[in-house]
Structure 1
Amino acid sequence: MLVYLQVKNIALIDEINLNLHGHLNIFSGETGAGKSMLIDSIQFAIGNRTSKQIIRKGEQSAYVKLVFSDQNALWFLEELGIPYSNNEIILERTLYISGRTVYKINNIISNRAQVKQLASLLIDIYGQHEPQSLLDPSKHLIMLDNFGDVELKNLKQEYQQTYQKWHQVTKEMENIEIDERKKLQLKDMLNFQIEEIEQHNFQKDEESMLNEQYTTLSHAEKILMQCQKAYEFLGEDVVGSAIQNIRDISHINTQLKEFFSQLNSIEAQLQDVTFEIRRYIDSIEYSPQLLQDVQNRLDVIYRMKQKYGNSIEEILQFKNNAILQLDEIMNAEENQQDLNNQKQILENQLLELAQQLSKKRKEIVGQIEIQIEKHLRDLQMPHAKFRVSIKEISSFNKNGKDDIEFMICTNLGTDVAPLAKIASGGEISRVMLAIKTIFVLEDSIGTVIFDEIDTGISGVTAQKVAEKLALISRNTQVICITHLPQICAMGDKNYLIEKNVVEEHTKTSLIELVENQIINELCRLMGGIITNSTKESAKEIKLLADKFKKNI
């Protein structure tokens, strides 16, 4: 429910801070006092389009804050990743004179679409030509099912669980179903790619080895010449001659002995190196053809890298993936047949459950039509006919195979038509009130606003409207703007909206009425003159209203 409302600089409103009652909140005031501005402010906060002309003259921005306490909409905050505490949901909107708008949900910057979607879970506004949830045919089936008994609800739950399984199987089939021509094209392409990679018999380290070989072959002539010279120099055995000279004197002192030892070690190493250089010279196999063969192999690797990856490892991985994909296609027919069998079984179950759902819905339609027509007669619509249209649709959805829409005609001699096509705002409000009255216990919307609910009614009808508002407000918070004393008397909290001139500026203000002020307001609504007689009548209306609420 809406627990707190703050409005700043909206039209003639300077600032209003309001704590609302959990049941029936009644707003009244003289014509032109600005009652509609209250609704406009709430509409503003929940994302309805407006212009910067709504900003109070001389101010730079307009601001509205709504604070709700509603655990049924917290899942939406969780989906958005918005934190909350104590079931509190705060909507804020600021409109600047530049035209820029800032929306916030629980102090987190949000966008208009998010605010509107969240608001649709929190509040309904029924007024002339407003987009009301009860006029949305997509919600009629849900409302009808909520009116049903435990058997219907359990049946629907079983259906939806089965539908979820069917939807999952259908999605899996869509993922593996490929057009036959595309399937053949893909198989041919995969086979070609696999064969092309396999025919080259790539080895993981091959490219680096070929690059090294290519570099060596490219410089083979120079390598052979330089290595041959080095070998010849080493063959002169200069170190051996030095050893002969040192050997004869190595016994004279320790340092000469060390020289002799080092030279022996060097001679051994030089012999090893000389041997390895000789082997290396003999191993070099150079020919222009071999160099060309290495170049051709590197060219093949380069072309394949352009097609299949940045390295031989990636090319081989591409081949492995292609093999897996080809296996999937080859196994798809078998998998598809299994899924087809599962889907057929689930569709048979869905069809049976959908038929049972449809039967249960048709059983409760008559009760709904009778009850709503009774309420409409109470609301001075004696010729109204309310019907629930149930049509079978061709495919399954999460609610079955029924398309449900509320239909109505309000005058004799006319045919029933979709509820959304009612032209009169006053009729819309009363029809909504009748529907809301029978669905109230199952509705998850926490706050309902009725504007223009009392247009064109009086007397007994006014009393019936007041009673229905009180009945709805026991389960759902109701905010109602009225000019009828019977409705005003039924309020759990009453507010007076006034327009005053302060320092040559017109401003709208709002005050909460206490008991004596409520009586005076009832007198004003009854005729405008406060006398002992009107006070007694007002007290009697208030007493009857309190008695009715006590017995609900």
Structure 2
Amino acid sequence: MLTTLSIKNYALIDTLNVEFKEGFTTITGETGAGKSILLGGLALVLGKRADLSSLKNEEEKCVIEAGFKVGHYNLKGFFEESDLDYEELTLIRREILPGGKSRAFVNDTPVRLDVLSSLGEKLIDIHSQHQTLKLTENEFQFQVIDAVAGNEKHLKEYRKVLKAWTNAVRNLDALTKQQSESIKELDYNQFLLQELEEAGLVPGMLEELESEYEQLNNIESIGEYLVHSSQLLGDERMGVIRNLAELKAVLQKLAAYGSGFKTIAERVHSTHIELDDIYGEIQRKEEELEADPGRLEELHAKLQKIYDLQKKHGVIEIEELIQIREDLGVKVRVTENLGEDIEKAQSLVAKLREEVMVVAEEISDRRSSVIGNLKANMENALKPLGMPDASFDIRLSKSDSFFTNGSDVLEFLFAANKGSAYNELKKVASGGELSRIMLVIKAILAKYMQLPTIMFDEIDTGVSGEVSTRMAAIMQEMSKTMQVFTITHLPQVAARGNTQFKVYKEVEGETTRSNIRELAQEERVIEIAEMLGGKDISDSARRHAVELLDQALGPVE
């Protein structure tokens, strides 16, 4: 509920601070006194866009702050999602700077205007002519029926399974598209994969093949080098090993003359052993050396295949070809397995669609079960509001499609007079009729859900005293479970309020200011008497005003 409102430097308001109470509050005042300004300021703090024309003094900033008790509105989730501090007494502040920019705060945390607007919709419902047009919108009509049918938890479940089904359908479509595209590439990918698999690629393979090929391709030169090396080492007269053996013998004799000579002798001995081993290895290589034209041709073919694959795939390293082979293998396997994946996806889509249908059917049945009573309650409530022959034809039919709120198609038809054909509300109901219908619907909704604070802006315009009395009674009844405001020019309505405020203008020199204040009981008598008979209050007008206020304290008929 709205607890406080303060406005500074807005339109005709210098500074305004007002506190509001629970129940039914009526707001009165002469035409042009500033009631619309009050609504405008409230709209700004609830997220409406602003401009410099909002400022009374364009050199100072405009500040509007409203306090709300939000404990009964289940808004903790909204505050968490919006990264706001939750306070049961929440303060919303809007500042419009002289440069035209504006800032918004919730519990002193800066917020975007869209967040403020979303929060505002949950806190106050300003019932103006524009808002009355919502009555003609199909979405709002569904909200009314679902509230009466108690479909809130069923709709949550429906949207949950609908989202799962939608995601499953989207996944199936993606798999089907992927299969269609993959099939076109499958043959080519299989061909590339076969080429790479036949090459038998392993890490380090290229270096080994190139080394073996170089040896076989140069076998004659290698043989010559081995023979020459063998001769240099093993020649009986001039070979390195023979000479090294003589050197070793000399140094062994020299070792007897000191440890330094002994060390040299040992090193030469080790070198002799190593060279002797090398000589044996060269001889074995020479014996093993054998030309193999067939193997040479095989190596050439393998290397050429690898070089061709490297060129074809635009890579240099053998490891890159191996990675391409693995990637192609994955693509081919995925394509080959897509059929199985699609079958599973189709099965899931069918299963989830059945679940959606079951919940949608439950929602539809609950709607159908309340339409008769809803229709009767609206028609009965409208009779004392000057619409004795008003009737509704609420038609619910099933669709093969799934919408965000079920699978039903709703037609909300209306006839204001006997014998008139039913038609859409926006085509046959006048503005005054729409206002009264909306009042009745809001009164019905108040019995089924926790509505936000509601403010009716001259909803009683153009109706008779008797009808206005009944409209006031409806609003007073609503105020037993919620906070209700109404801006009115009718004394019968003003008297029904638990609290009454007056909006008025003050002229000081060349300056006009708007203000608002709560009326005490005697002030209410005077205000209502003036509404009945004008500024010159007669005794009968005063008595009538007292009677209206006394009646308001009794039970609502």
Category of TM-score, reference length = shorter chain: 0.7 to 0.9
Query: Which of 362, 366, 372 matches 1:366?
Result: 372
For residues 411 and 119 of structure 1, do their structure 2 counterparts lie closer, same or farther at Cα, with a shift above 3 Å needed?
A: farther
Distance apart, 1:480 and its partner CA: 1.7
The 3 A distance-change label for structure 1 pair 288 and 393 is closer
Residue 84 (structure 1) aligned with residue 85 (structure 2): yes
> Does the CA contact (< 8 Å) of 1:11 and 1:37 recur in 2?
yes
Q: Which residue of 1 aligns with 2:182?
A: 186
Which of 255, 259, 263 is residue 250 of structure 1 equivalent to?
Answer: 255
Separation (CA, whole Å) in 2 of partners of 1:48 and 1:446: 18
SS, match of residue 382 in structure 1? coil
Aligned 8 A contact 1:126 1:132 in 2: no
Matches within 5 A, 1:450-529: 450-502=456-508, 504-526=510-532, 527-529=534-536
8 Å CA contact retained: 1:24, 1:470: yes
- The one-letter code matched in structure 1 to 2:337 is E
Correspondent of 1:72 among 48, 71, 74? 74
Describe the superposition over 1:383-442 as per-residue Cα deviations: whole angstroms up to 9, x where unpaired: 433332323333244644322243334456754433345675443322211111122122
Q: 1:55 touches 1:62 (CA, 8 Å); kept in 2?
A: yes
Q: Compared with structure 1, are the counterparts of its residues 469 and 404 closer, same or farther at alpha carbon in structure 2 (3 Å cutoff)? A: same
Higher deviation after alignment, 473-482 or 382-391? 382-391
Change (3 A) 1:395 1:233: same
**Does the Cα contact within 8 Å between 1:160 and 1:399 map onto a contact in 2?**
no
CA contact (8 A) 2:62 2:95 kept: yes
CA distance in 2, matches of 1:102, 1:131: 29
1:331 aligns with 2:336: no
Identify if the C-alpha distance between structure 1 residues 36 and 78 changes in structure 2 by more than 3 Å, giving closer, same or farther.
same
Moved more, 515-524 or 465-474: 515-524
Counterpart code for 1:524: E
Change (3 A) 1:148 1:338: closer
Query: How has the CA–CA distance of structure 1 residues 492 and 232 changed in structure 2, closer, same or farther, with 3 Å as cutoff?
Result: farther
Counterpart secondary structure, 2:444? helix
- Does structure 1 residue 140 correspond to structure 2 residue 141? yes
3-state DSSP class of the match of 1:455?
A: coil
The amino acid that maps onto 2:253 is D
Q: 1:47 aligns to what?
A: 47
Change (3 A) 1:303 1:478: farther
What SS is found at the alignment partner of 1:249?
A: helix
- Deviations 1:40-97 (Å, cap 9, x if unpaired)? 22323333345432232323544434444153343334444x2332446555444445
Aligned residue for 2:129, secondary structure, equals coil
Structure 2 residue 539 is the aligned partner of structure 1 residue 539: no
1:433 aligns with 2:435: no
SS in 2 for 1:311: helix
Considering only CA atoms, is the larger Rg found in Structure 1 or Structure 2?
A: 2
Q: Tell me how far 1:446 sits from its aligned partner.
A: 1.4
Query: Quick check: 4-13 or 410-419, which moved more?
Result: 410-419
Aligned-partner Cα distance in 2 for 1:284–1:58 = 104
Structure 1 residue 475 displacement after superposition: 1.7
1: CA distance, partners of 2:330 / 2:212? 36
1:314 to partner: Cα distance:
3.6
2:331 equivalent to 1:322: yes
Q: The residue matched to 2:56 in structure 1 has which SS?
A: coil
SS at match of 1:21: coil
Q: Please say if residues 5 and 18 of structure 1, whose CA atoms lie closer than 8 Å, have aligned partners that are also in contact.
A: yes
Aligned residues of 1:27 and 1:494 also touching (Cα < 8 A): yes
- CA deviation map 1:110-148 (0-9, x unaligned): 444444344333332211223665443213223213223
Equivalent-residue separation in structure 1 for 2:281 and 2:88 (angstroms): 85
Structure 1 residue aligned with 2:310: 301
Does the aligned pair in 2 maintain the 1:217–1:291 contact within 8 Å? yes
The more displaced of 371-380 and 510-519 is 510-519
Answering whether residue 24 of structure 2 is matched by residue 19 of structure 1, we say no
Aligned to 1:322, the other structure's residue is in SS state: helix
C-alpha contact 1:429 1:450 (8 A) present in aligned 2: no
Cα 1:163–1:486 shift into 2, 3 Å: closer
Q: Distance in 2 between matches of 1:271 and 1:20?
A: 113
Distance 1:37 1:212, change over 3 A: farther
1:355-394: CA deviations, max 9, x gaps? 6754553443232222222222222333433332323333
Count of aligned pairs between the two proteins: 536
Partner of residue 176, structure 1: 172
Q: Distance in 2 between matches of 1:275 and 1:52?
A: 104
Partner of 1:2: 2
CA distance in 1: counterparts of 2:441 and 2:427, whole angstroms: 16
Q: Which amino acid aligns with 2:494?
A: C
Q: Is the 8 A contact 2:492 2:548 kept in 1?
A: yes
Q: 1:541 to 1:224 in 2, by over 3 A?
A: farther
Aligned partner of 2:344: which letter?
Answer: N
C-alpha RMSD over aligned residues:
4.5
Q: Which residue of 1 aligns with 2:35?
A: 35
Partner of 2:412: 406
Cα pair 2:413 2:424 within 8 Å, conserved: yes
**Is 424-433 or 440-449 further displaced after alignment?**
424-433
**Could you tell me which residue of structure 2 aligns to residue 376 of structure 1?**
382
Q: Does 1:394 align with 2:400?
A: yes
The TM-score, its normalising length taken from structure 1, stands at 0.79
Shift in CA distance, 445/500, structure 1 to aligned 2, threshold 3 Å: same
Shift of 1:325: 1.8
Cα 1:360–1:83, aligned 2, differ >3 Å: closer, same or farther? closer
C-alpha contact 1:124 1:133 (8 A) present in aligned 2: no
SS in structure 2 opposite 1:522?
helix
Pairwise CA distance, 1:504 = 3.7
Query: How many angstroms apart in 1 are the aligned matches of 2:366 and 2:121?
Result: 28
* Residue 198 (str. 1) matches residue 194 (str. 2): yes
Distance in 2 (CA, whole Å) between partners of 1:63 and 1:170 is: 46
Q: Which amino acid aligns with 2:78?
A: F
Q: CA deviation at 1:193?
A: 1.1
Q: In 1, distance between residues paired with 2:474 and 2:464? A: 15
Q: C-alpha separation between the residues in 1 aligned to 2:31 and 2:265? A: 125
Q: Is the 8 A contact 1:383 1:410 kept in 2?
A: yes
Please tell me whether the aligned partners of residues 52 and 58 of structure 2 are also in contact (alpha carbons under 8 angstroms): no
For residues 51 and 416 of structure 1, the distance between their equivalents in structure 2, rounded to whole angstroms, comes to: 44
Equivalent of 1:311, from 320, 323, 327? Answer: 320
1:260 Cα deviation after fit: 3.4
